[in-house]
Copies of this chain bind each other. A is one copy, B any other.
Amino acid sequence: MESNILLINCPDESGLVFKVTGILYKKYNLNIIRNGEFVERNFNHFFMRTEFSGTFDKEELLKDLYEVLPEGVEIKLTGKRKKDIVLLATKEHHCLSDLLIRHAFNELNANILCVISNYDVLEDLTRKFDVPFHFISHEGMSREVHEAAVLNTVQQYNPEVIVLAKYMRILSGDFVSHFTNRIINIHHSFLPAFIGANPYAQAYERGVKIIGATAHFVNIELDQGPIIAQSVIPVDHTHSSREMAQAGRDVEKNVLAKSLKLVLNEQVFVYRNKTVLFE
């Protein structure tokens, strides 16, 4: 039997768990597989994620939930199924390779619909895995025109999630606004340190002893979106800036894969520019 995921967030009040489990268990006799709750204490906001199986009418269940839950509640009810995703890349292969391999071996809970890049460097790699590749060069184009072309291609695929797998171009607020909390970026630094360009050069210059990578949703403000996952590795004075970048690549791909998995499995809430994770 297919399992379902129910995501609820609303202002906290007494009895929310009782009310929701009451509907699922008493009224619909659904089988709860996994259940988690969290209350954010600064703003008293309630989050609940429930996986369940059983037969039900979606519209009716939602109606029942809205009835007992407080005003302003957000409810998402979705089947546990593969999501459609599109990958954007530039020249570096490590994040793209990693996702293509996982996809090829059915380890990614997603269908990669296509790869879009402003260079053709990764076309061969992508085609090896029978994934469509769109080369949309930015050369000789204004930023706006190029982005419009990319947006147009993306929209033909109608993806649920967009992954910036080392896509090295800045997206406009307009682009981002089409996919709120649905674009995942991997930033090659331990945000909020080294915001902006060349973080490894900055890290080298500063003489840090640890470098890291950050996967986050993309917001209008560059590098400021909700952080999903971070990871680090030790470095030392023997690492050149280039060696730091090399060492950082494995961390980048692991963090991106981890955060994408969380998003695909509906384990991520976004609230006030932060994430609440049900791991």
Contact = CB atoms under 8 A, between A and B. Distances in A.
Interface of A: 14-15, 17-18, 21-22, 24-26, 29, 31-42, 93, 97-98, 101, 104-105, 125, 128-129, 190-194, 206-210, 212, 226-232, 236-238, 240, 250, 254, 257, 273-277, 279
A273 to B, nearest CB: 7
Contacts of A230: 208-210
A31 B18 CA distance: 12
B18 A26 contact: yes
18 contacts: A15-B26, A17-B17, A18-B25, A18-B26, A35-B37, A36-B37, A41-B240, A42-B240, A97-B101, A101-B101, A128-B128, A191-B208, A192-B208, A207-B226, A236-B277, A237-B275, A238-B279, A250-B257
Contacts of A36: 36-37
Contacts of A227: 206-209
Contacts of A191: 193, 206, 208
Main secondary structure of the interface of A (DSSP, over half): mixed
A270 to B, nearest CB: 10
A78 B221 CA distance: 48
Contacts of A236: 277
A101 B105 contact: no
A12 B228 CA distance: 32
A190 B210 contact: yes
Identify the 3 closest CB pairs spanning chains A and B, nearest first: A207-B274, A193-B193, A18-B21
Nearest to A224: B206
Given A18-B25, A210-B230, A238-B279, 11 more contacts: A18-B18, A18-B21, A36-B37, A38-B237, A38-B238, A190-B210, A193-B193, A206-B227, A207-B274, A237-B275, A237-B277
